[in-house]
Chain A
């Protein structure tokens, strides 16, 4: 009566050895993708020295990177650039945005409340680029890192730059000062968005 007639051998998947081999192969492929590929990505060098160069952050926003700045192109995402300045990690993101820097900052404050361990210190400092674009600077800390978030909105484009240290104390004062100077060089393409 069965459509699949004929004395075919017992299928591989019907034996314990077959199931074990198959299951381990599935496990191996999943682990290779979830853990192996990121490990492989780390092993491939992709760091370039961009100290002193003009770097585009996306949406026509540029800034002059301070000396001793490197960029890992493997960590770039659309409209997101990641840089290392001395001991500080700098992540800059740009997007189209029609509200104010204060609205942006408020949204960030609300979001950070949901992140366990990460807290805003409550300290906010005003900031302005050399061209006079004002920004909001929020300082944060967590058990493992310390840093600040700089938000600027101009001509329908928002830029948020997160600066964090590799250690609990955050970047050194000298790094902060050099970054402040570099971030003041931020320029917006007036012809956009």
Chain B
């Protein structure tokens, strides 16, 4: 140990499950979620009855919209993943409790501004005052409730970003659905899906990246910082949490404000430019803060794994490759570059190996006896036969219930660590059979065409068809071997997403017209 300290607090070995009926936070969640669900289901039922096509289109589009967000959030939360049930509760808080509680509160603030200042002021500046303050506080409370429900699972600032993002995503998706169906109702053109498509393009593509998900991630990061850094003075912790929530409110207020709404007088292009000016800095700020928190977390978990460096569990170079998203992907791409089906199998094995390495790192942080258990397992020769029999033996041990609780808990921990080691050795053996002894990437020269492909892909958000050109450019940049260049992969993915979005919009508009 270096004696260095990190703002990471691993889940204690004796921590109870998050689902504890004696925890008042669980009952508060239920008490608020049930009426929220009742209100939301009433609105959704009316939407589907009055505008079945529009409501169905909105539900399908915005449900599909959440998928890439969830994939990205799970990838960002790679090292120490949050329990899916807790992230689902965070999503539910945002979509059900915060969104429903914000409706009347927001109207009330608007009304008070009209009375206390003037109706004109309320109409102009009300959206930049009431909703940001109310919504950001309500969403931040979702992260606070997760802390109260399962503080042991809020291990680092990164976790706060993740839970906050899930709360914000839930809020954003429900709000987008309501806005989309509301646009159809407001158009007074019957059950028309064109307003839904417009809402999807504007709120999904043009403004979706710097919306509630990012705002609440910022607030969540601040709250988690305060929760995790227990050795820091209370004033500083409280100040960071309050500052983060305040920054989320300020970012939201800037977004809702009438500033730059005229797009500098340059029409549609000017308005889109103004959207970027108001939103992009917030997104970059949150990305910067998240990256800092991620590096701290990576350093901590890297140190957990460093004690096994040089063993078959972690070969030289793999630790560095594991802790950085770019290097992780480079290692997978390098494995994928092997000829034929061998490449696919190698890439799968590298992915699995990296997952097991992070798991071993997290287990080591939770159970101080882990190194001893790991060494015990490593003393055996990792033959295929031994690995299989050991796996079966450990599986049987995990099921034993006749031991006293404390002994059983210790055994569960030991089995979890040793099983992880056995699985790791199995993947290592698999990789060695594929002539890939070390799971690291190589420094390949990047094609100068790849950045242009990515630029085209981003342009595809605004220009129909540009995404398709980006796909072609990405394939040309890599000469058909896409996995060899991360930038080309990104260009291909964004190009495919925008092309699919535009095609979907086109088909739905045609259907709507029919």
Interface residues of A (CB under 8 A from B): 1-6, 8-9, 11, 13-14, 16, 19-20, 22-24, 26-27, 29-30, 33-35, 37-38, 40-41, 44-46, 73-78, 95, 97, 99, 103-104, 106-108, 110-111, 113-115, 158
Contact = CB atoms under 8 A, between A and B. Distances in A.
A99 B109 CA distance: 35
A37 B24 contact: no
Contacts of A99: 188-189
B231 A30 contact: no
B300 interface: yes
Contacts of A11: 151, 227, 230
A76 B5 contact: no
Interface string B6-31: 11111000000000001111011001
Tell which of A2, A20, A95 has the most Cβ of chain B within 10 Å: A2
A23 B228 contact: no
Contacts of A5: 5
Interface stretch (B115-123, B172-180, B427-435, B450-458): B115-123
Contacts of A30: 32, 97, 101, 138, 141
Nearest to A37: B108
20 contacts: A1-B365, A1-B368, A16-B22, A19-B24, A23-B24, A23-B28, A23-B145, A24-B24, A26-B28, A27-B32, A29-B137, A30-B141, A33-B138, A35-B104, A37-B104, A40-B112, A41-B109, A76-B114, A103-B189, A114-B50
Contact of A13 (B105, B116, B141, B148): B148
Contacts of A29: 137-138, 141
A34 B31 contact: no
B151 A46 contact: no
B151 A14 contact: yes
B70 interface: no
A38 B105 contact: yes
A108 B314 CA distance: 67
Interface string B133-147: 010011001001101
A157 B147 CA distance: 51
Nearest to A79: B123
Majority secondary structure of chain A interface residues (helix, strand, loop or mixed): helix
B191 A110 contact: yes
Given A23-B148, A44-B116, 11 more contacts: A2-B9, A23-B145, A27-B28, A34-B100, A41-B108, A41-B112, A76-B111, A76-B119, A78-B123, A107-B190, A108-B188
A46 B23 CA distance: 44
A73 B101 CA distance: 22
Interface residues of B, number: 63
Interface in B149-180: 151
B299 to A, nearest CB: 9
Contacts of A73: 111, 114-115, 119, 122
Tell which of B25, B227, B368 has the most Cβ of chain A within 10 Å: B25
Contacts of A19: 23-25, 148
A114 B189 CA distance: 16
Contact of A75 (B49, B102, B111, B186): B111
A114 B43 CA distance: 11
Contact of A74 (B25, B105, B114, B141): B114
A66 B123 CA distance: 25
A27 B5 CA distance: 35
B1 interface: yes
B185 interface: yes
Contacts of B22: 16
Nearest to B100: A34
Tell which of A23, A95, A99 has the most Cβ of chain B within 10 Å: A23
Interface in B82-126: 97, 100-102, 104-105, 107-112, 114-116, 119, 122-123
B340 to A, nearest CB: 43
Nearest to A4: B9
A4 B123 CA distance: 49
B402 interface: no
Nearest to A98: B189
A70 to B, nearest CB: 13
B115 A34 contact: no
A4 B109 contact: no
Contacts of B138: 29-30, 33
A74 B130 CA distance: 13
A14 B16 CA distance: 11
Nearest to B300: A3
Nearest to B97: A30
Contacts of B228: 4
B46 interface: yes
A29 B191 CA distance: 38
A30 B190 CA distance: 36
Nearest to B32: A30
B4 interface: yes
A26 B137 contact: no
Interface string B474-508: 00000000000000000000000000000000000
Nearest to B119: A73
Contacts of B5: 3-6
Contacts of A13: 147-148, 151, 227
A161 B108 CA distance: 23
Contacts of B123: 76, 78
Nearest to A33: B105
Contacts of B97: 30
B148 A74 contact: no
A6 B6 CA distance: 12
Tell which of B100, B104, B304 has the most Cβ of chain A within 10 Å: B104
B49 A114 contact: yes
Nearest to A111: B50
Contacts of A4: 5-9, 228, 230-231
Interface string B42-80: 000010011100000000000000000000000000000
